[in-house]
Amino acid sequence: MRSRASVAEPGTKAAGMIGKPGVVALPSIAMIHDLLENIATSHLLTWVTLNIVAPLDRRLMALSNGRLSLTGASTILLITIGARSGAQRRAALPGLFHDGEIVLLASKGGAKTHPAWYHNLLKHPEVEVVKAGERLRYRAEVTEGQRREALWSWMLEQWKGFAAYQEKSKPRVLPVVVLHSID
Protein backbone atom coordinates (compact mmCIF):
# COMPACT_ATOMS: atom_id res chain seq x y z
CA MET A 1 0.00 0.00 0.00
CA ARG A 2 1.42 3.40 -0.98
CA SER A 3 1.14 6.31 1.38
CA ARG A 4 0.57 9.83 0.19
CA ALA A 5 3.28 12.43 0.65
CA SER A 6 2.76 14.62 3.65
CA VAL A 7 3.65 18.22 4.36
CA ALA A 8 4.71 19.74 7.66
CA GLU A 9 6.00 23.10 8.79
CA PRO A 10 9.82 23.12 9.07
CA GLY A 11 10.99 23.01 12.66
CA THR A 12 7.82 21.36 13.98
CA LYS A 13 7.66 18.02 15.73
CA ALA A 14 5.70 16.66 12.77
CA ALA A 15 8.45 17.73 10.36
CA GLY A 16 10.96 15.57 12.22
CA MET A 17 8.63 12.60 12.07
CA ILE A 18 7.98 12.59 8.32
CA GLY A 19 8.99 9.26 6.88
CA LYS A 20 8.44 7.33 10.10
CA PRO A 21 5.93 4.48 9.75
CA GLY A 22 2.38 5.38 10.70
CA VAL A 23 2.99 9.14 10.99
CA VAL A 24 1.14 11.49 8.68
CA ALA A 25 1.72 15.21 9.00
CA LEU A 26 -1.04 17.45 7.72
CA PRO A 27 -0.58 20.86 6.12
CA SER A 28 -1.32 23.85 8.29
CA ILE A 29 -4.47 25.90 7.78
CA ALA A 30 -2.30 28.82 6.58
CA MET A 31 -0.67 26.60 3.94
CA ILE A 32 -4.06 25.39 2.70
CA HIS A 33 -5.40 28.96 2.61
CA ASP A 34 -2.35 30.18 0.61
CA LEU A 35 -2.69 27.27 -1.83
CA LEU A 36 -6.38 28.00 -2.40
CA GLU A 37 -5.68 31.69 -2.99
CA ASN A 38 -2.97 30.82 -5.54
CA ILE A 39 -5.36 28.48 -7.34
CA ALA A 40 -8.21 31.03 -7.20
CA THR A 41 -6.09 33.72 -8.87
CA SER A 42 -4.58 31.43 -11.52
CA HIS A 43 -5.20 32.28 -15.17
CA LEU A 44 -7.06 29.01 -15.80
CA LEU A 45 -9.46 29.34 -12.87
CA THR A 46 -10.01 33.03 -13.63
CA TRP A 47 -10.96 32.13 -17.21
CA VAL A 48 -13.28 29.34 -16.05
CA THR A 49 -14.89 31.67 -13.50
CA LEU A 50 -15.44 34.53 -15.95
CA ASN A 51 -16.55 32.44 -18.93
CA ILE A 52 -18.41 29.49 -17.41
CA VAL A 53 -19.22 29.94 -13.72
CA ALA A 54 -20.28 33.62 -13.78
CA PRO A 55 -22.81 33.19 -16.63
CA LEU A 56 -24.30 30.14 -14.87
CA ASP A 57 -24.35 31.98 -11.55
CA ARG A 58 -26.02 34.99 -13.17
CA ARG A 59 -28.86 32.75 -14.37
CA LEU A 60 -29.12 30.83 -11.08
CA MET A 61 -29.28 34.04 -9.05
CA ALA A 62 -31.91 35.52 -11.36
CA LEU A 63 -34.07 32.37 -11.13
CA SER A 64 -33.71 32.09 -7.33
CA ASN A 65 -34.16 35.83 -6.67
CA GLY A 66 -30.62 35.98 -5.27
CA ARG A 67 -31.07 33.10 -2.84
CA LEU A 68 -28.71 30.64 -4.58
CA SER A 69 -25.20 31.15 -5.90
CA LEU A 70 -22.48 28.86 -7.19
CA THR A 71 -19.73 31.18 -6.00
CA GLY A 72 -20.52 31.93 -2.40
CA ALA A 73 -22.45 33.92 0.14
CA SER A 74 -20.93 37.28 -0.80
CA THR A 75 -22.12 37.07 -4.41
CA ILE A 76 -24.68 39.65 -5.51
CA LEU A 77 -26.61 40.03 -8.74
CA LEU A 78 -25.89 43.55 -10.00
CA ILE A 79 -28.45 44.93 -12.44
CA THR A 80 -27.29 47.86 -14.57
CA ILE A 81 -28.48 49.66 -17.69
CA GLY A 82 -26.19 49.10 -20.68
CA ALA A 83 -24.01 52.13 -21.45
CA ARG A 84 -24.54 51.80 -25.21
CA SER A 85 -27.59 49.56 -25.57
CA GLY A 86 -29.80 51.00 -22.84
CA ALA A 87 -30.90 47.42 -22.12
CA GLN A 88 -30.95 45.86 -18.66
CA ARG A 89 -27.72 43.92 -17.92
CA ARG A 90 -26.94 41.48 -15.10
CA ALA A 91 -23.64 40.53 -13.52
CA ALA A 92 -23.01 38.08 -10.67
CA LEU A 93 -20.03 39.30 -8.69
CA PRO A 94 -18.60 39.49 -5.16
CA GLY A 95 -20.18 42.26 -3.12
CA LEU A 96 -18.45 42.98 0.16
CA PHE A 97 -20.67 44.56 2.80
CA HIS A 98 -18.98 47.40 4.72
CA ASP A 99 -20.68 49.91 7.04
CA GLY A 100 -24.08 49.43 5.42
CA GLU A 101 -22.74 49.80 1.88
CA ILE A 102 -21.73 47.30 -0.78
CA VAL A 103 -18.14 47.52 -2.02
CA LEU A 104 -17.25 46.17 -5.47
CA LEU A 105 -13.91 45.76 -7.21
CA ALA A 106 -13.96 46.25 -11.00
CA SER A 107 -11.23 43.66 -11.50
CA LYS A 108 -12.51 41.39 -14.28
CA GLY A 109 -10.17 38.79 -12.83
CA GLY A 110 -7.16 41.06 -13.32
CA ALA A 111 -7.81 41.81 -17.00
CA LYS A 112 -6.25 44.84 -18.68
CA THR A 113 -9.73 46.28 -19.38
CA HIS A 114 -12.64 47.24 -17.14
CA PRO A 115 -15.66 44.91 -16.91
CA ALA A 116 -18.78 45.88 -18.85
CA TRP A 117 -20.78 46.44 -15.66
CA TYR A 118 -18.31 49.17 -14.65
CA HIS A 119 -18.84 51.07 -17.93
CA ASN A 120 -22.59 50.68 -17.46
CA LEU A 121 -22.68 52.20 -13.98
CA LEU A 122 -20.44 55.09 -15.05
CA LYS A 123 -23.13 56.12 -17.52
CA HIS A 124 -26.11 55.02 -15.41
CA PRO A 125 -25.09 55.11 -11.70
CA GLU A 126 -28.50 54.02 -10.41
CA VAL A 127 -28.37 50.23 -10.17
CA GLU A 128 -30.26 47.40 -8.51
CA VAL A 129 -28.90 44.56 -6.41
CA VAL A 130 -30.60 41.22 -5.94
CA LYS A 131 -29.55 39.31 -2.84
CA ALA A 132 -31.32 36.87 -0.50
CA GLY A 133 -34.75 37.37 -2.04
CA GLU A 134 -34.61 41.17 -2.09
CA ARG A 135 -34.18 43.58 -4.98
CA LEU A 136 -32.94 46.98 -3.78
CA ARG A 137 -31.88 50.20 -5.51
CA TYR A 138 -28.44 51.75 -5.11
CA ARG A 139 -26.39 54.65 -6.43
CA ALA A 140 -22.84 53.78 -7.49
CA GLU A 141 -19.84 55.89 -6.53
CA VAL A 142 -16.36 55.26 -7.95
CA THR A 143 -14.02 56.04 -5.05
CA GLU A 144 -10.83 58.07 -5.35
CA GLY A 145 -7.93 59.23 -3.20
CA GLN A 146 -7.87 58.39 0.49
CA ARG A 147 -11.33 56.81 0.43
CA ARG A 148 -10.26 54.40 -2.32
CA GLU A 149 -7.00 53.57 -0.53
CA ALA A 150 -8.79 52.90 2.77
CA LEU A 151 -11.34 50.63 1.07
CA TRP A 152 -8.62 48.91 -0.98
CA SER A 153 -6.71 48.10 2.22
CA TRP A 154 -9.89 46.79 3.81
CA MET A 155 -10.64 44.66 0.73
CA LEU A 156 -7.16 43.12 0.89
CA GLU A 157 -7.86 42.18 4.52
CA GLN A 158 -10.97 40.34 3.29
CA TRP A 159 -9.15 38.46 0.50
CA LYS A 160 -5.52 39.06 -0.37
CA GLY A 161 -6.11 37.49 -3.80
CA PHE A 162 -7.31 40.94 -4.92
CA ALA A 163 -3.63 41.98 -4.91
CA ALA A 164 -2.89 39.33 -7.55
CA TYR A 165 -5.66 40.80 -9.73
CA GLN A 166 -4.12 44.25 -9.36
CA GLU A 167 -0.70 42.89 -10.31
CA LYS A 168 -2.10 41.15 -13.43
CA SER A 169 -4.02 44.24 -14.54
CA LYS A 170 -1.11 46.72 -14.42
CA PRO A 171 -0.88 49.50 -15.43
CA ARG A 172 -4.67 49.69 -14.93
CA VAL A 173 -5.68 50.66 -11.41
CA LEU A 174 -8.64 48.56 -10.30
CA PRO A 175 -11.63 50.79 -9.52
CA VAL A 176 -13.22 50.40 -6.09
CA VAL A 177 -16.96 51.10 -6.33
CA VAL A 178 -19.31 51.75 -3.42
CA LEU A 179 -23.05 51.19 -3.73
CA HIS A 180 -25.13 53.52 -1.53
CA SER A 181 -28.70 52.42 -0.79
CA ILE A 182 -31.40 54.73 -2.14
CA ASP A 183 -34.37 52.63 -0.93
Domain carrying residue 123:
33-181
Query: Does residue 24 sit within a domain?
Result: no
CATH of the domain at 41: 2.30.110.10
Query: Does residue 152 sit within a domain?
Result: yes
Of 158, 50, 144, whose CA–CA distance to 95 is shortest?
A: 158
CA distances from 123 to 77, 105, 112, 128 (A): 19, 17, 20, 14
Query: Does residue 153 sit within a domain?
Result: yes
Concatenated DSSP letters for the chain? Answer: -PPPP----TTSHHHHHTTSTT--PPPPHHHHHHHHHHHHTSHHHHHHIIIIIHHHHHHHHHHTTTS--SS-TTEEEEEEE-TTT--EEEEEEE-EEETTEEEEE--GGG-SS--HHHHHHHH--EEEEEETTEEEEEEEEE--HHHHHHHHHHHHHH-THHHHHHHHHTTSPPPEEEEEE--
Q: Of 159 and 15, which is predicted with more confidence?
A: 159
Query: Does residue 25 sit within a domain?
Result: no
Q: For 48-91, how does the pLDDT look when each residue is reduced to its tens digit (9 = 90+)?
A: 777 888 889 899 999 999 999 988 888 999 999 999 999 999 99
pLDDT at 159 over 50: yes
Domain count, the chain: 1
Per-residue pLDDT, 49? 76
Q: For 28-47, how does the pLDDT look when each residue is reduced to its tens digit (9 = 90+)?
A: 776 665 665 666 667 777 78
Query: Does residue 96 sit within a domain?
Result: yes
Query: Does residue 128 sit within a domain?
Result: yes
Q: Say what the pTM is.
A: 0.75
Query: Does residue 17 sit within a domain?
Result: no
CA distances from 36 to 31, 33, 40, 76, 127 (A): 9, 5, 6, 22, 32
Query: Does residue 172 sit within a domain?
Result: yes
